[in-house]
């Protein structure tokens, strides 16, 4: 919930804001000590802000880094955040009641007394959540997670791509809310805008400098609309208007009037109800109109924001970079996988120039992802790590610009980079269409051969493919010639030979003088 206008100041001055996971995780522990005294509005708000920052930062990294500590940290703060939220909601409702009506208003007095009776129990529940909060675990995460977060620089394409995903989701909710004008629609829009705002605020500091004020203002307006909806629902549920709480304005129940529903008393109650309803609706409509005035039209902030986020080919690049970063967090030897990827792509391009290609326009991208992620299963130290790698790739949520089907194919290519060859009797491979099976064999054959051409710390510096008659020749420069290298290459090329339908010779190119 947001604070009512001109009430308690519950946000810190803009020039005191600092960014970074390490800061906000320390801030949580400091604010835990400050809030313990009496759970006053300001400390409660400050602790919730710190927890929200940590949890929203975790949301950003969960899609990039599979380390369980991100989800564990987010869950650890959830109970405390929620219990503080109930107390915070009560404080906001108290402020709104005082803002909307004079102190001697009977409905205002009733609602304030009602909230005052709830406050001790909510403070007790918040204290219990605070006591259950594991500070030692939080400190351990504060030592580890910020170092992992630093591996992805703020403002990078990865985060701009993530912001575009959240812009798309929020913009869709904007259209739905304007179309149906329901309370639920505006509430969902508020949440969507909040996720977009936090992504920009936490990961795109330069854009936040330009957009931050607008984003906060919009979230405040929609938050206040939600507050007013909750206040009206609370008043009705608490029967703040006796005798008319369950009767729409202007309608009367049938049957003889009782002493509690004399015409004069009923009139006063309906007047109170009309006053509060019209007052709340007026405040609510003012904020919705501000939102509509600002956010509808070709020059609205929606269009300004979209213009600064990835466009066209940059969307594809951003998706690939996100997959690359994700694989990098899991892979115990990133340099090895990058070298294999470079060789595999050279082989693919050379084969394409020689007339060996597939109709799938994403085939090169599928190969690149499979090559980058083919070793992520090694983190489990399992001899059949290729199967674990495939499972990790399958479970990765497709980023904007990618289809789940393409990731499933990449997972199979990684699965067959070593070990058993693809066969129709294998469940996942067997369910593919014939065209997809051909593609997996072809790309897995390239990846197998590329893996064999990388020995120790050395790899082929140059790879060219030449078609001569019924043969394909792969010419290499700079390959390490180990004792078993020819044997490895001979075994690895079989799958690609079967996919291409011709023999493949691997030759060492003459060194240039």
Within a domain: 225: yes
- The answer on 303 and 330 residing in a single domain is no
Contact 80, 138 (CB under 8 A): no
CA distances to 97, 109, 291, 341 from 5, in Å: 12, 20, 16, 56
Distance CA 481, CA 334 (A): 22
Contacts of 173 (CB under 8 A, 6+ apart): 185, 188, 189, 191, 192, 193
Q: By C-alpha distance, which of 99, 311, 126 is closest to 224?
A: 99
- The answer on 320 and 304 residing in a single domain is no
The b-or-e profile of 428-453 (16+ CB within 10 A means b, else e) is: ebeebeeebbebbbbbbbbbbbbbbb
CA atoms within 13 Å, Cβ hemisphere of 187: 9
Helix %, strand %, coil % of the chain (to 5): 70, 5, 25
Q: The whole model's pTM is what? A: 0.85
**Run of H or E including 473:** strand 471-477
Within a domain: 418: yes
Q: In terms of DSSP bridges, do strands 458-459 and 454-455 run parallel, antiparallel, or are they unpaired?
A: antiparallel
The pLDDT tens digits for 304-328 are 999 999 999 999 999 999 999 999 9
* Tokens, residue 219: 């979230």
Within a domain: 429: yes
- The answer on 191 and 86 residing in a single domain is no
Name residue, tokens 């789940």: 404
Last residue of a domain, one of 152, 179, 201: 152
Last residue of a domain, one of 95, 124, 152: 152
Distance CA 310, CA 162 (A): 10
Taking only Cα atoms into account, the Rg of the chain, rounded to an integer number of angstroms, comes to 31
- The answer on 275 and 348 residing in a single domain is no
Within a domain: 252: no
**Run of H or E including 468:** strand 462-468
Beta bridge partners of residue 471, listed in sequence order: 468
- The answer on 216 and 80 residing in a single domain is no
pLDDT of residue 104: 86
- The answer on 140 and 193 residing in a single domain is no
- 3-state SS string over 245-282? CCCCCCCCCCCCCCHHHCHHHHHHHHHHHHHHHHHHHH
Contacts of 81 (CB under 8 A, 6+ apart): 48, 51, 52, 55
Q: How many domains does the chain have?
A: 3
Distance CA 183, CA 102 (A): 27
Contacts of 225 (CB under 8 A, 6+ apart): 186, 190, 284, 287, 288
* Tokens, residue 101: 């009506």
- The answer on 159 and 112 residing in a single domain is no
pLDDT of residue 487: 80
Within a domain: 253: no
Within a domain: 10: yes
* Tokens, residue 456: 């120790």
CA atoms within 13 Å, Cβ hemisphere of 51: 24
- The answer on 124 and 7 residing in a single domain is yes
- The answer on 322 and 420 residing in a single domain is yes
- The answer on 131 and 194 residing in a single domain is no
Distance CA 57, CA 41 (A): 24
Contact 19, 54 (CB under 8 A): no
Within a domain: 441: yes
pLDDT profile of the chain (513 residues), mean per 10:
42 44 95 91 93 94 94 92 93 93 89 94 94 95 95 95 97 96 95 95 95 96 96 91 49 37 57 90 96 94 97 95 95 92 94 86 95 90 85 94 94 95 93 95 95 69 84 79 70 92 86 53
- The answer on 146 and 160 residing in a single domain is no
Distance CA 472, CA 273 (A): 85
Q: What CATH number does the domain containing 89 carry?
A: 1.20.120
Q: What CATH number does the domain containing 371 carry?
A: 1.10.3210.10
Residues written for the chain: 513
- The answer on 61 and 180 residing in a single domain is no
Q: Which residues constitute the domain of residue 284?
A: 153-247+262-311
Distance CA 37, CA 54 (A): 23
Last residue of a domain, one of 105, 124, 152: 152
Within a domain: 255: no
CA 438 to chain CA mean position, Å = 35
């Amino acid at each position: 919930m947001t604070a009512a206008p001109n009430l308690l100041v519950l946000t810190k001055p803009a020039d005191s804001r600092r960014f970074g996971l390490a800061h906000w995780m320390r801030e949580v522990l400091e604010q835990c000590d400050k809030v313990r005294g009496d759970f006053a509005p300001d400390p409660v708000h400050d602790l919730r802000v710190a927890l929200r920052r940590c949890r929203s930062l975790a949301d950003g990294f969960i899609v990039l880094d599979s380390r369980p500590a991100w989800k564990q940290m987010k869950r650890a703060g959830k109970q405390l955040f929620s219990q503080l939220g109930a107390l915070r909601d009560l404080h906001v409702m108290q402020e709104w009641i005082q803002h909307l009506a004079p102190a001697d208003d009977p409905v205002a007095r009733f609602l304030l007394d009602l909230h005052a009776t709830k406050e001790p129990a909510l403070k007790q529940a918040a204290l219990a959540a605070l006591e259950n909060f594991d500070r030692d675990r939080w400190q351990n995460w504060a030592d580890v997670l910020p170092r992992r977060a630093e591996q992805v620089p703020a403002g990078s394409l990865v985060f701009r791509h993530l912001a575009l995903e959240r812009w798309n989701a929020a913009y869709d909710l904007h259209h739905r809310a304007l179309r149906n004008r329901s309370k639920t629609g505006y509430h969902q829009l508020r949440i969507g805008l909040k996720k977009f705002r936090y992504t920009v605020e936490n990961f795109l500091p330069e854009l936040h400098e330009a957009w931050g004020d607008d984003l906060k203002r919009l979230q405040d307006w929609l938050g206040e609309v939600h507050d007013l909806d909750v206040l009206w629902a609370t008043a009705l549920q608490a029967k703040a208007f006796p005798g008319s709480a369950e009767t729409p304005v202007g309608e009367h129940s049938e049957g003889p009037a009782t002493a509690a529903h004399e015409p004069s008393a009923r009139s006063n109650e309906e007047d109170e109800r009309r006053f509060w309803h019209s007052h709340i609706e007026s405040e609510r409509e003012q904020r919705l109109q501000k939102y509509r005035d600002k956010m509808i039209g070709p020059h609205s902030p929606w269009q300004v924001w979209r213009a600064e986020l990835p466009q066209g080919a940059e969307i594809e690049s951003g998706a690939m970079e996100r997959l690359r970063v994700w694989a990098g967090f899991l892979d115990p030897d990133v340099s090895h996988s990058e070298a294999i990827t470079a060789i595999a792509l050279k082989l693919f391009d050379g084969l394409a120039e020689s007339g060996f290609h597939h109709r799938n326009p994403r085939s090169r991208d599928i190969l690149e992802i499979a090559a980058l992620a083919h070793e992520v299963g090694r983190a489990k130290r399992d001899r059949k790590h290729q199967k674990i790698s495939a499972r990790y790739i399958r479970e990765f949520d497709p980023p904007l610009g990618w289809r789940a089907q393409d990731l499933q194919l990449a997972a199979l290519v990684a699965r067959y980079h070593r070990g058993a060859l693809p066969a129709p009797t294998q469940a996942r491979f067997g369910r593919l269409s014939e065209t997809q099976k051909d593609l997996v064999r072809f790309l897995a054959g390239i990846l197998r051969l590329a893996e064999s051409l990388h020995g120790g710390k050395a790899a082929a510096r140059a790879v060219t493919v030449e078609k001569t008659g019924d043969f394909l020749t792969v010419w290499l420069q700079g390959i390490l010639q180990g004792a078993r290298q020819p044997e490895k290459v001979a075994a690895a090329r079989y799958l690609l030979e079967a996919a291409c339908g011709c023999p493949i010779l691997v030759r060492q190119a003459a060194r240039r003088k």
